[in-house]
Structures are given as C-alpha cells and as structure tokens.
C-alpha cells in the first residue's frame, strides 16, 4: 500500500437473523465465528470491492446506540487506512426513522475513526481518515448523516483539547481556542484576566492560579441576545494541569492531570453544536481556566478567600481546587438569570470509586432538570447515575473561620459534599445540575464509541439536551 492509496470500502450492518442473506459466505462465517453479534466484524471481498460486515445483534433489541456503536467499530477497524471512502448500507429498525439511524451511524463512524496523532514525527504528514468520508448512508442523502458527522466532529474537537499536553494547552491557549470557536460561530466572547481577575471579584479562581507562571482567566461565550437571560448556562471546570498545588499529589497521581479541563472542553464542544441543534436558544458558557501549581505565590492551606457571590471560603486542601474555580463561575453564571445552569467537571475520585470509569455522577437541585439530563443520556448512550445530597452532610462544608471550607475532612461521600459546596453558589430559584465526569472523561481502553485517552464524554449528552430545550 502506498502512502497516497485511496481505498473504497463498504460497511454493512448485519442483524443476526439476516445472516441467511449471505449464503455465499456461510463457510467463511462459520470459520471466523461470525454470527452477527454486536461488535463482531468480518471483511469480505466482492467484485465491487471489500465490504466490512458489522454485527448488530438481534433486530428486536436494537436501539439507536446499537447502530452508533457498530459504526464506531467500523470506523475503528478502517482507520489504519491513509484515506477511505465509506458508504454504510441502511438497515430498518423498528421505531426509528431512517434519518435517526443515519445520524447515529454518522456519529459512530466519526467517533470510531478518531485518532489523536499527537506529536510523533512519523505521523506528522498523515492524512486524517475522516477527511475523505463520504456524506452518504445507503441511498439516503441525509441531513441526519451530515448532522451526525458534525456532532462527532465536535466530540473529536473536545478529545483533541483534552489529549493535548499541558505545556501546550495552557489556560491562555485554551482561552484562545474558545475565542476562535466563538468567532467562527458568531458568538459573543469575553475574557476576564489580569488585574480584573485579581481584583477580588473572583477569589476562588485567583487563589487556584496564583502558584503558576501561567496566568488564570475566565471566559464567557454567548449565543443569542446578550441583553436577555440565557435559557441555559453551561459551566465547565478548566484546570489545564492539576499538580495539587502545595497539597501536592503523588507522582503517580499527577500522571494524566492534563485531563482536568475535560468539563470545560466538553462545554466548548457542546457550544459548537448550538447553531446546529438549538439556534433559537439563548445559551451561555462560563469557563474558568487555571493551572494548579505549587509556586512561590501559591495559596497556602488555611488561607481564606472571598468568592464571586461574597461567600468566604477557608482553603484547607489546595488539591480540592475544582470547586473553588467552579464556585466563582457558577456565581457569575447565576448573575445573568438563566433558566437553568449545568456544570461539568472532572471533580472527585469518589465518583469513580462509586460508579466505575464509564458512568458520570449526577446531582442537582431540580428534579425536572435532572430527569431531562437522564433522558438525554439515555438517548446518547452516555451513562449517568443520580447521587444524593443529604442534609446531614452539610456540616462537612462549613468552616469555623469562614462561611465554607473546601475540604470536608471525611473520606466518605466526597462526590456529594463537593456538589453541596457548589450548590452554595447557585440561588435556589435557578434550577441547577452537576455532572462529575471524573470516570468517563478518560479511558485507558477503547469501548463503544469511546476512544483511548480523552473520550469527549458529555458533548453529545449536552447536544441532545440542547435539542430538547429548543423543541420546548
């Protein structure tokens, strides 16, 4: 194979009960153990060229995520090609319109084909496989297909951000990416940094960023009339590297801490989808960016700071920095009077201990908003699990010398107490929900539509939520 070879490869989804349609290949199927089950693949040679069959399981059990996952399996199997043109043959699915199937397939193949080339010199000139993907699903010239590709592209944008090393993706560089996104999408943009950030109005963000040579900042992206309250405000934790500050993490725990801005990156990916999925909505993103480092000016355990909403916080552990930057960002978001606020953050190891590495913890103050998020997660196949915020835990966030403390002391229920801390910065009148992505934002293996490394978890979930808000 030469470096410039273009390969035309068809991909067909196969339900278990449809294997009889491939009589000429029965012996091949038997030899390979191919039965049309989910995640199974087999490559066949036909006169018109190669075809990759992907198992869909039983038709009666199929949902949109079945197609999405199968398409991701196909994209993963073919991404070693320098370029490829891929047409997926449509399959009927009970209860789903062809356009929905097309959208799921396009999302899946776009996500499965993803590869972070990184900084290996041998891959510097490699052509992205996805660039030659054909916008067609069987015989459907489908808006659903085109939409699915754009959704997958937004997820891959988020993956690229999270996978980028922290010496390259500094707080300033991440803010620059946000500004470029806003400019390209026709969104309003504001950056708060320097003296304005350090003036005392954002004590949490300033305290976290103080120990780093890289300056902290806070950015806002606004879609729709800025003079009107947003229908939805999205907040994301953007710690581009977390050493723990003076409460230094162990060397092993510092590995991978470039991903601590996964919440903010997911919000940026979702903002890319607003013009596509919810152009009639007013949407705002509030994103705090900082490095948490143990420099000479670093915040000390025991320091007290004043947050955006006037609450004072005693910082007992500088490695519990995420709730500090989010507290300021949530307070600022609340000032615009939004219909609802959702924050995303890689916040607590406790969420991973409780739910594993593929499920996000969901907490919040509003039952209706929580249920909407659960339904959106069900559609996109991004698991969430609701956790409580029982009143008896509240003393763990109260300080003897300030209004609040950032470190609960107790080793249990830390996902719940973190959310309870954040709730202090959102007025009770505003529906609020918190997604702790510490587990699913990153993966050491590929599964479903998730890539190794940054998974882009939350982008599609927020996109689906935006779609439902736009529909009313």
Q: pLDDT at position 99, please?
A: 82
**What share of the chain in percent tops pLDDT 70?**
92
59, 17 contact by CB (below 8 A): yes
- Report the CATH superfamily, name and number, of domain 156-471: Zn peptidases (3.40.630.10)
Pairing of strands 83-89, 360-364: unpaired
More confidently predicted of 401 and 90: 401
Rounded CA separation 243/266 (Å): 21
Average pLDDT, the chain: 91
- Phi and psi torsions of 53, nearest 5°: -90, 135
pLDDT at residue 193 greater than cutoff 60: yes
Tell me the per-residue pLDDT of 378-424, one tens digit each, with 9 for 90 and over: 999 999 999 999 999 999 999 999 999 999 999 999 999 999 999 99
DSSP string, 198-243: HTTTTHHHHHHHTTSSSPPEEEEEEES-TTS--SEEEEE-EEEEE-
Rounded CA separation 150/84 (Å): 18
Q: Which residues are 52's β-sheet partners?
A: 11, 43
Cα dihedral sign, 53-55-56-57: positive
Q: Residues near 468 by Cβ (< 8 Å), separated by ≥ 6?
A: 372, 375, 376
Our answer to whether residue 237 is catalytic in this structure is no
pLDDT at residue 125 greater than cutoff 50: no
Tokens at 118, concatenated: 């990184």
| Residue ranges covered by each domain of the chain | 6-135, 156-471
Tokens at 448, concatenated: 């479903």
CA 379 to chain centre: 15
Q: pLDDT at position 129, please?
A: 44
Our answer to whether residue 91 is catalytic in this structure is no
Return the SS3 of 453.
strand
Cα dihedral sign, 466-130-157-440: positive
- The reported pTM is 0.94
Tell me the per-residue pLDDT of 323-345, one tens digit each, with 9 for 90 and over: 999 999 999 999 999 999 999 99
Q: pLDDT at position 81, please?
A: 72
- Say which CATH architecture domain 6-135 belongs to: 3-Layer(aba) Sandwich (3.40)
Q: Residues near 327 by Cβ (< 8 Å), separated by ≥ 6?
A: 204, 307, 308, 309, 311, 313, 421, 422, 424, 425
Q: pLDDT at position 118, please?
A: 80
Work out the average pLDDT over 427-447. 98
pLDDT at residue 131 greater than cutoff 90: no
In 429-470, DSSP assigns E strands to 432-436, 442-443, 453-454
Rounded CA separation 305/102 (Å): 51
Which among 191, 249, 358, 452 is annotated as catalytic?
A: 249
Rounded CA separation 47/27 (Å): 18
Q: pLDDT at position 48, please?
A: 76
Q: pLDDT at position 66, please?
A: 92
Helices (H), 189-250: 194-198, 203-209
pLDDT at residue 164 greater than cutoff 70: yes
With 0-12 / 13-18 / 19 or more C-beta atoms within 10 angstroms meaning exposed / middle / buried, residue 4 is exposed
* Long-range contact set of residues 355-359: C-beta below 8 Å, sequence gap at least 24: 355/385, 355/439, 356/439, 357/439, 357/440, 357/443, 358/383, 358/439, 358/440, 358/443, 358/447, 358/450, 359/383, 359/384, 359/385, 359/439, 359/440
Which among 76, 91, 159, 323 is annotated as catalytic?
A: 323
pLDDT at residue 224 greater than cutoff 50: yes
**Out of 52-56, 133-137, 374-378, least confident range:** 133-137
Tokens at 81, concatenated: 């090609």
Tokens at 257, concatenated: 């801490």
- Phi and psi torsions of 182, nearest 5°: -60, -45
Rounded CA separation 242/289 (Å): 11
pLDDT at residue 206 greater than cutoff 60: yes
């Amino acid at each position: 194979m030469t470096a410039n070879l273009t390969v035309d490869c068809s991909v067909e989804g196969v339900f278990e009960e449809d294997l009889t349609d491939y009589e000429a290949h029965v012996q091949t199927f038997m030899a390979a153990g191919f039965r049309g089950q989910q995640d199974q693949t087999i490559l066949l040679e036909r006169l018109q060229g190669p075809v990759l069959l992907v198992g869909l399981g039983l038709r009666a059990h199929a949902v949109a995520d079945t197609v999405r996952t199968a398409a991701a399996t196909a994209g993963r199997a073919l991404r070693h090609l320098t370029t490829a043109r891929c047409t997926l043959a449509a399959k009927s699915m009970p209860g789903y319109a062809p356009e929905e199937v097309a959208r799921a397939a396009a999302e899946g193949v776009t996500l499965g084909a993803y590869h972070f080339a990184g900084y290996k010199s041998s891959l510097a000139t490699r052509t992205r496989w996805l660039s030659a993907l054909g916008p067609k699903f069987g015989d459907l010239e489908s808006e659903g297909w085109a939409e699915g590709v754009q959704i997958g592209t937004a997820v891959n944008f988020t993956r690229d951000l999270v996978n980028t090393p922290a010496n390259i993706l500094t707080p300033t560089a991440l803010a620059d990416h946000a500004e470029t996104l806003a400019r390209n999408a026709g969104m309003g943009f504001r950056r708060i940094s320097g003296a304005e950030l350090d003036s005392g109005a954002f004590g949490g963000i300033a305290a976290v960023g103080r120990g780093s040579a890289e300056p902290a900042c806070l950015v806002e992206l606004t879609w729709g009339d800025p003079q009107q309250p947003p229908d939805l405000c999205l907040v994301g934790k953007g710690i581009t590297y977390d050493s723990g500050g003076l409460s230094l993490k162990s060397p092993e725990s510092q590995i991978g801490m470039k991903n601590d801005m996964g919440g903010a990156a997911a919000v940026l990916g979702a903002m890319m989808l607003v013009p596509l999925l919810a152009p009639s909505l007013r949407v705002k993103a509030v994103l705090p960016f900082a490095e948490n480092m143990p420099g000479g000016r670093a915040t000390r355990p025991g320091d007290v700071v004043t947050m955006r909403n006037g609450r004072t916080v005693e910082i007992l552990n500088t490695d519990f920095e995420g709730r500090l930057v989010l507290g300021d960002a949530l307070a600022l978001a609340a000032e615009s009077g939004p219909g609802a606020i959702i924050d995303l953050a890689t916040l607590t190891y406790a969420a991973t201990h409780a739910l594993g590495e593929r499920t996000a913890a969901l907490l919040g103050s509003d039952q209706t908003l929580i249920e909407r998020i659960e339904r959106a997660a069900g559609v996109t196949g991004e698991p969430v699990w609701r956790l409580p915020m029982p009143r008896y835990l509240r003393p763990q966030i109260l300080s003897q010398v300030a209004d609040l403390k950032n470190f609960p002391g107790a080793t249990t229920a830390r996902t719940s107490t973190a959310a309870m801390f954040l709730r202090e910065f959102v007025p009770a009148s505003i529906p609020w929900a918190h997604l702790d992505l510490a587990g699913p934002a990153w993966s050491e293996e590929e599964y479903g539509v998730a890539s190794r490394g940054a998974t882009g978890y939350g982008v599609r979930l927020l996109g689906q939520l935006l779609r439902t808000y736009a529909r009313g």
